[in-house]
Amino acid sequence: FPVTIVFARYVVGIKNASASSVHTIELMAIHDGTTVSLSKYGEIFNVSSLGTFDAVINNANVELKFTAVDTTAYTIKVARTHM
């Protein structure tokens, strides 16, 4: 989201190709123009975590980043609301 927006909430759903592993989480992000603070809550997975989340400022945008635990192909869906 653009840095002109200060607050954002994400709901993320992740599944592997066979949908045998699923992972969902809610994240809240705020920033001061330099650093992004990310709160993670409501995390649920059926087998184990499929990865980790972080957020950074890149140029004029706040980027939500997902780092997978392996090289499996994943489907990731994200819903974002912001203020």
Residue listed under structure tokens 């990310």: 38
φ, ψ for residue 68, nearest 5 deg: -75, 155
Gap between the Cα atoms of 58 and 64, Å rounded:
10
Tell me the per-residue pLDDT of 6-58, one tens digit each, with 9 for 90 and over: 899 999 999 998 878 999 999 999 999 899 999 999 999 999 999 999 999 99
pTM for this model (two decimals): 0.87
Task: Give the pLDDT score at 43.
Answer: 96
Helix, strand, coil tally for the chain in percent (to 5): 0, 65, 35
Higher pLDDT residue, 64 or 4?
Answer: 64
What is the residue-wise DSSP string for 58-76? ETTEEEEEEEESSS--EEE
Q: 3 versus 23: which is more confidently predicted?
A: 23
